[in-house]
A and B are shown apart, each in its own frame.
Chain A
Amino acid sequence: MKTPAATKLSDLKLDAKNDRYVLRLYVTGATSRSRQAILNLNAICSEYLKGQYDLQVIDIHQKPTLAKDEQIVAAPTLVKRLPAPMRRIIGDLSDKESVLLGLDLKRKS
């Protein structure tokens, strides 16, 4: 699930900075919730971060030690590693506004 780096972002409406987004989505197997999270994330990324992000989807059932190393408790968890600050966005990412807040693509008004 890697989206290769693409062209420069031109139409970023919100205050995203110019650096790349490094995102890790931790899911637990092929549950409907996992699928939902992946779908939602892809939609948000293609809308706001077009090509300016690294996304890796990891099944913690397959790599349980990563759950410890990455401090995963809730599932699904989307970890925004970069840009700083690091943030954990939990849930199936269906609340788009919250996801954007978590990704610093939007500020609390």
Chain B
Amino acid sequence: MSNRRVHTLNGIEKCPTGIAGLDQITDGGLPKGRPTLICGTAGCGKTVFGMEFLVRGATLFDEPGVFVAFEESDKELCQNVASMGFDLPALQARKKLFLDYIRLERSEIQETGDYDLEGLFVRLENAISTVGAKRVVLDTIESLFGSFSDTNVLRAELRRLFRWLKSRGVTAVITAESGDAKLTRHGIEEYVADCVILLDHRVQEQMSIRRLRVVKYRGTAHGTSEYPFLIEKHGISVLPLSSQQLDHSAPGQRISAGIPRLDSMLGGKGFYRGSSILLTGAAGTGKSSLAAHFVRAACQRGERALYMASEQSPAEIVRNMRSIGVDLEPWVKRGLLHFHAARPGSSGLEKHLVTIHQATEEFQPQVVVIDPITNFAAVGNFSDVKSMVTRVIDMFKSRQITAMFTSLTRGDSEPELSEIGVSSQMDVWLLLRNLECNGERNRGLFVLKARGIAHSNQIREFALTDQGVQLLDVYIGTAGLLTGSARVAQEARERMEDEERKQQLQRKTAELTAKRRKLEQQMARMKADFVVEEQGV
């Protein structure tokens, strides 16, 4: 419900729908005082769309509305939308909403000559004036085609109806069923030409995905992409690409990664605030551990951190991180750290996008960890996941949230090939690798890229100790970076050489002392001889 704005762009006045996300896509809402066509297949959410448009209008914008239902009775409608918290009877009682169910029974109707649909006009006029409606929904007007056989009359009357609605100055939503690769079965998009929105409900790999697309919007720049949307307990949420222009501000503030030596690899100051950080690595390379440090550092700064976990439960994360000396529990208790755990498999990709949106909206974090983002790849195809991640990154950036995404690479694949194709959108990319040599595996960390940060080019070994992640000293031998026991051996060798040098020095010193003593003795003897000689003269 954010971004509630009324735009007067290009002279077109907008009527905010109040539907989460939609007003962003349409740059302010539906064209005010004009009819908008909402089309889609059966069950795509047209009725809910229309009803939410009215309910939001009545409750948020003080614009009463009229709902003309052709398919559901008043009672059915009230029941159907009650689950979304829309209390239609209360709105009706407050004269904010007028429901008119138009029941047309083909079998009851006998046509016997010229007619028009003046009855519909009379009812609409009556409804509009009863509540002082500014919004009208006709759901689904094409039902008329099933009840009346004279399509010429119908078309003429529909054209007259839309003109009349315009002249009444009401913002109208007309729903229609799409079919046969056409927007509407009876081509009524011809008459409602100002704004056409297509809703779509697809089932892809057993996952249901709803999408919304603004097909046409006269006089307004609008997003042409398909936007996923959801119908959930608060109504419809459309998930816009929150920033279609790349106009994020670039904060210069730097925040710590939570590991001092990692900060020093990143120009000594850590990440930029509001940047997105990708952490890739195979299983067991310590991604979650690094993320935990990052989160803890944020909490220590007094910031709010959101941890979206999709592999471990919050309790497991807390326990596991405690074993490496990172105690997250106090921060959870103080309300600075919030875990949100859900498996992506349990609901569709869009649903997850919404969940992330909502969790962010509710918790208002400064730092977010999504661990791991690769799990989303399991529930959508490549381009879906990519577009989703883009949206997530955009959302975080626009809110200046520093986001860390962990990404699991398969052991046998090149880690540089980021499997979900999002690495180009990331500002910092940390690569965790298993460095295998001399029969052991050690963890290595490498800053693959860090935009705008002078960063170290070294591969650093790190260890998970009970004091947390420790980046170790760098040993570079003739064969490259030395890790694990090779590093230990090198250290030992150096210690030995050192010892040897020390001993040599001691020997030399002893030799010299002995020599000096000898000389001194000689000198004393010669001196004594000389004295004797002198006395003899």
| B108 lies within 8 A of A93 (CB) | no
Q: Which of A37, A61, A73, A93 has the most CB of B within 10 A?
A: A73
Interface size counted on chain B using CB atoms at 8 A: 25
Contact A87 B119, CB 8 Å, known A71-B103, A74-B148: no
Q: Give residues 49-86 of A contacting B (CB, 8 Å).
A: 60-61, 64-65, 67-68, 71-77, 85-86
Interface of A is mostly: mixed
| B108 lies within 8 A of A73 (CB) | no
| B110 lies within 8 A of A99 (CB) | yes
| A72 lies within 8 A of B112 (CB) | no
| B109 lies within 8 A of A68 (CB) | no
Contact A99 B102, CB 8 Å, known A68-B126, A77-B119: no
| A88 lies within 8 A of B119 (CB) | no
Cα distance, A38 to B115, chains bound together (Å): 13
| A72 lies within 8 A of B119 (CB) | yes
| A65 lies within 8 A of B110 (CB) | no
Looking at the complex, which one of A37, A61, A94, A98 makes contact with B110 (CB distance below 8 Å)? A98
**Residue B113 interfacial (CB < 8 Å):** yes
Contact A73 B120, CB 8 Å, known A64-B125, A64-B126, A68-B100: yes
| A91 lies within 8 A of B113 (CB) | yes
**Residue A90 interfacial (CB < 8 Å):** yes
Smallest Cβ distance from B70 to chain A, in angstroms? 9
Contact A75 B119, CB 8 Å, known A64-B126, A65-B126, A68-B100: yes
Smallest Cβ distance from B242 to chain A, in angstroms? 43
| B119 lies within 8 A of A91 (CB) | no
Chain A residue numbers with a CB within 8 Å of B479 are none
| B102 lies within 8 A of A73 (CB) | yes
| B122 lies within 8 A of A87 (CB) | no
Smallest Cβ distance from B217 to chain A, in angstroms? 31
Cα distance, A64 to B127, chains bound together (Å): 9
Contact A87 B112, CB 8 Å, known A28-B122, A64-B126, A68-B126: no
Smallest Cβ distance from A28 to chain B, in angstroms? 4
Chain A residue numbers with a CB within 8 Å of B82 are none
Residue of B nearest to A96 (CB): B112
| A90 lies within 8 A of B111 (CB) | yes
Chain A residue numbers with a CB within 8 Å of B109 are 87-90
Q: Which A residues form the contact surface with B (CB < 8 A)?
A: 26, 28, 33, 36-37, 40, 60-61, 64-65, 67-68, 71-77, 85-96, 98-99, 101-102
